[in-house]
Chain A
Amino acid sequence: MINALVAILIFPGFLFLSAFALFAEYADRKIYARLQNRVGPPIFQPFADIIKLIAKEEIIPEDANPQMFKLAPLFALTAAVTSIFYIPMWMTGALFSFTGDAIVVLYLLTIPTLSFFIGGWYSSSLFARIGSVRAVVALFSYEVPLFMGVLSSCMLADTWSLSGVAVFYEKHPWFWLFNLIGFGVALTALLGKLEKGPFDIPEAETEIVAGGFTEYSGRFLAILRMTIDMEMVVGASLLAAVFLPFGLMFTPIIGFIIYICKVLFVVACISLMRTVVARLRIDQMIEFCWKYLVPLGMLQLLLNFIIKGVILK
């Protein structure tokens, strides 16, 4: 009981995830800045932002629905925190694992997007409504490639459990090289989920102020920003667990450090990808995802089918 509480609240639960999320945001912003020949924020900047937001007043619009407005950020945060428990961090076993937890993690990552939609819609502001509707339309575009990418690797390992995936790739060390196309597809789709890079249309600053987050301020905005950072860490951890499953056979401490490095590598890839492209319009995003990402995902699935049938028998 005490073990479970420590796990949920401190490590690898809320406190560790918060600290890691803030550090990942710092890494993302620093790399983004250095790629643009700028200096970038100091290491405590994301923490200072959260503290400042918590200290500010919340303003709830008159026409908004107060209950939904206040509950939506909390749903998002809870879902993001819950999903970290199933990712194998320092050895091949995660904290709580069961068959099918890969799909559960993917589902839990969808809940924040729906919460942003609900929060934006019930804000009853024009900009928030447009932003929240765009967020759901974008969901239809990137969800399928993301699922395809992640599940193709799980399919090669013949299990839907992330810990099982880690065990499989420990037994067959170089098989993760077969999944590189899927890695590319899943990384691009992850940009859509995190609303970054060419897919940040739901939160397009120059068009609709802040999208679904326009009317949020104070503590709620702090919770929403924390959720976005945690989503980035969870998404990067998921991709690292499924596509870069090496280095899990060492001692727990070294394995943990390798895990941190892998997550930071995925975060660096995300930063680089969002630096070099402009923002796509919503119809261009749908066209791009369904015309290019989904066929590549299907190609990876086909490839893994063949490999499973031929090599692994």
Chain B
Amino acid sequence: MAEEKEFRIPIGPQHPALKEPVSFTLALRGEKIMGVDVRLGYNHRGIEKACEERTYIQDVYLVERICGICSHAHSTCFVQAVEEIAGLEVPKRALYIRTLIGELERVHSHLLWLGVAAHEIGFDTLLMFTWRDREVVMDVLALLTGNRVNYGINTIGGVRRDIDKEEIKEILKAMDILEDRTKYYIEVATQETTVVQRLSGVGILSCEDALRLGAVGPTARASSVARDIRRDDPYAAYGEMKFDVITDDHNDVYGRAVVRLKELLESFKMIRQSMANLPEGPIAVKAPRKIPAGEAVSRYEAPRGEDMHYVKANGTDKPERVKVRAPTLANVQAVRHMLRDRYLADMPIVVAAIDPCFSCTDRLISVNDMDKNRTDTLEWQDLRDYSIEWYKKRGVDFSKMRKLK
């Protein structure tokens, strides 16, 4: 057979498969993908710079609007970092309420993901059904916080709104309904022939590759990497809750779907636990307007993976530097690897399986070398070596640190 010519097809920035602008340029030979070229940056809004011009209390709302679906994740992560710098002791009730809203947001996000993944494989019926059930969660969130997305429940030092007995009853009612529906969706996703055919064997990412490429969240957990910030580095009220970290060994998109669906069941468990153990007390402590100098890194298990915020304060009422590393940035490196030698028809579902949120992702990551007066990019290994050198100069030796499994 004669050598087929490769042609390049642009998926994005505008494409029906993508919910947000990103550019994948695929090199195709017939229906087979030979290579992928990823370009990010279409959603860059200068949020990190904007945070430096606003006070901390204004930044809570700005950081919340980095993304619509992981809004509570970003807000809580930021507020945790600021509270750590200021040395504030957040009351227990506030921590439980934050956990509750976080888990409700996870339920909302996973149901949304299920619908979007179904749409990408052409199964609009499942999209309509899951999004109908997602309305139950959004109504509960509107009841508790006052808005369906961008909840605005966090403030520095605690939460802004309390929960009463009526609302607890509503939450538990909603949990019963959703648990029924989730069990049905697990059946559909694992037993419907066409769905299993489209999801199995697609987007394979082995355990070693997941660790090497830095995948986080359900993308990594579906490749047997048992990493979950809620268990490894507990924050809010997770230290006092019993839950399982769901992993799966299918290594493909089917595994990711199973992990997310089972995480929904875990979330229902956690919500019920937090309702049963809700401690009494105040919901916030008074926070100073001027945060003393210091810096902190805070991590949060967003529905998509590990979200990381770095805040540096300098004693004024505006932060000096805020840096956000969203989970999708870590997962998008794996997409190139997953798409090699697959078909064009697999592209939408592989991209959708990492649950992309490019609004979260687009922050600036270029390195300005002031000595050599040029802008360079650092590879992963270079960045690791650089950080080990930096800490060595300050007396801490990380080079012998055992690689976390």
* A residues lining the B interface (CB < 8 Å): 35-38, 126-127, 130, 198, 200-201, 204-209, 275-284
User: Is the beta-carbon distance between A205 and B194 smaller than 8 angstroms?
Assistant: no
Contact A278 B9, beta carbon cutoff 8 Å: no
A-B contact pairs, 11 of them (CB 8 A): A198-B122, A205-B122, A206-B17, A208-B344, A277-B192, A277-B193, A277-B194, A278-B122, A281-B197, A281-B345, A284-B197
Residue of A nearest to B121 (CB): A278
Interface flags for B179-220 (1: CB within 8 Å of A; 0: not) read: 000000000000011110110000000000000000000000
- Nearest B residue (CB) for A197: B122
Q: How far, in Å, is B11 (CB) from chain A's closest CB?
A: 9
Contact across chains for A282 and B345 when beta carbons are under 8 A apart? yes
The contact of A206 among B28, B119, B195, B343, by CB within 8 Å, is B119
- Provide the bound-state CA to CA distance between A275 and B16, in Å: 20
Total count of chain B residues near the partner, CB < 8 A: 31
Task: List A contacts of B45 (CB < 8 A).
Answer: none
Q: Which residue of A lies closest to B344 (CB)?
A: A207
A280 touches B197 (CB 8 A): yes
> In the complex, A282 Cα to B348 Cα: how many Å?
15
Task: Tell whether B248 is near chain A: CB-to-CB under 8 Å.
Answer: no
B9 and A206 form a contact (CB under 8 A): no
Known: A277-B123, A279-B121. A37 touches B194 (CB 8 A): no
User: CB-defined interface of B6-32 with A at 8 Å, one 1/0 digit per residue?
Assistant: 010100000111000000000010010
Binds A, one of B125-133, B162-170, B259-267, B292-300: B125-133
- Decide yes or no whether B83 CB sits under 8 A from chain A: no
Quick one: closest A residue to B7, CB to CB?
A: A126
The reply on B118 being an interface residue by CB < 8 A is: yes
Give the complex CA separation of A283 and B197 in angstroms: 11
Cβ distance A245 to chain B, nearest Cβ, rounded Å: 32
B343:A275 contact, CB within 8 angstroms: no
Q: Given A126-B9, A279-B194, A279-B198, A37 and B122 touching (CB < 8 A)?
A: no
Chain B residues whose CB sits within 8 angstroms of the CB of A281 once the complex forms: 197-198, 343, 345-346
A286 to chain B, nearest CB (A): 12
B 123-173 contacts with A by CB, 8 A: 123-126, 128-129, 132
Residues in A neighbouring B195, C-beta threshold 8 A:
278
* Minimum C-beta distance from A74 to chain B (A): 28
User: Contact flags (1/0) for B101-132 with A, using CB distance below 8 Å?
Assistant: 00000000000000000111111111011001
Provide the bound-state CA to CA distance between A204 and B15, in Å: 12
Residues from chain B with Cβ under 8 Å of A200 in the complex: 122
B347 at the interface (CB under 8 A from A): yes
Q: Is the CB of B125 within 8 A of A204?
A: no
Q: Is the CB of B118 within 8 A of A209?
A: no
Contact residues in A for B122 (Cβ distance below 8 Å): 198, 200, 204-206, 278-279
Residue of A nearest to B30 (CB): A133
Contacts of A280 in B (CB 8 A): 194, 197-198
CA of A280 to CA of B119, assembled, Å? 13
- Most chain A CB within 10 A, of B7, B198, B345, is at B345
A38 to B132, CA, bound (A): 10
Q: Are the CB atoms of A276 and B125 closer together than 8 Å?
A: yes
* B128 A37 Cβ-Cβ under 8 A: yes
Please tell me if the beta carbons of A278 and B192 are within 8 angstroms of each other in the complex: yes
Q: How far is the CA of A36 from the CA of B124 in the complex (A)?
A: 9
CB distance from A131 to the nearest CB of B (A): 11
> Cβ of B344: which chain A residues have Cβ within 8 Å of it?
130, 207-208
In Å, the complex CA distance between A283 and B124 comes to 21
> Hey, what's the 0/1 contact readout for B343-366 against A, CB within 8 Å counting as 1?
111111000000000000000000
CB-CB under 8 A from B124, the residues of chain A are: 36
A284 / chain B contacts, CB cutoff of 8 Å: 197-198
| Contact B16–A283 (Cβ < 8 Å) | no
Contact (A198, B7) CB under 8 Å given A207-B344, A282-B31: no
Distance in angstroms from B336 CB to nearest chain A CB is 18
The answer to whether B118 touches A278, judged by C-beta atoms less than 8 angstroms apart, is yes
Q: How far is the CB of A24 from chain B (nearest CB, A)?
A: 20
Q: Which residues of B contact A276 (CB under 8 A)?
A: 125
CB-based closest 5 A-B pairs:
A279-B122, A278-B123, A278-B194, A36-B128, A206-B17
List of A residues within 8 angstroms of B16 by Cβ: 205-206, 209
In the complex the two chains form, is A206's CB within 8 Å of B120's CB?
yes
Q: Which residues of A contact B132 (CB under 8 A)?
A: 37
Contacts of B17 in A (CB 8 A): 206-207
Q: Which residue of A36, A208, A278 is within 8 Å of B129 (Cβ)?
A: A36
Q: Nearest chain-B residue to A129 (Cβ)?
A: B7
B345: contacting residue among A35, A198, A207, CB under 8 A: A207
Q: How far is the CB of B400 from chain A (nearest CB, A)?
A: 48
The CA of A206 and the CA of B124, in the complex, are separated in Å by 11
* A284 to chain B: closest residue by CB: B197
Q: In the complex, which residues of chain B have a beta carbon less than 8 angstroms from the beta carbon of A38?
A: 128
- Nearest A residue (CB) for B11: A207
Q: A residues within 8 A CB of B347?
A: 207
- Please name the residue on chain A nearest to B197 by beta carbon: A284
B348 touches A207 (CB 8 A): yes
Point out the residues of chain B lying under 8 angstroms from A275, CB to CB: 125
Q: Which residues of A contact B197 (CB under 8 A)?
A: 280-281, 284
Cβ–Cβ < 8 Å partners of B192 in chain A? 277-278
CA of A201 to CA of B198, assembled, Å = 12
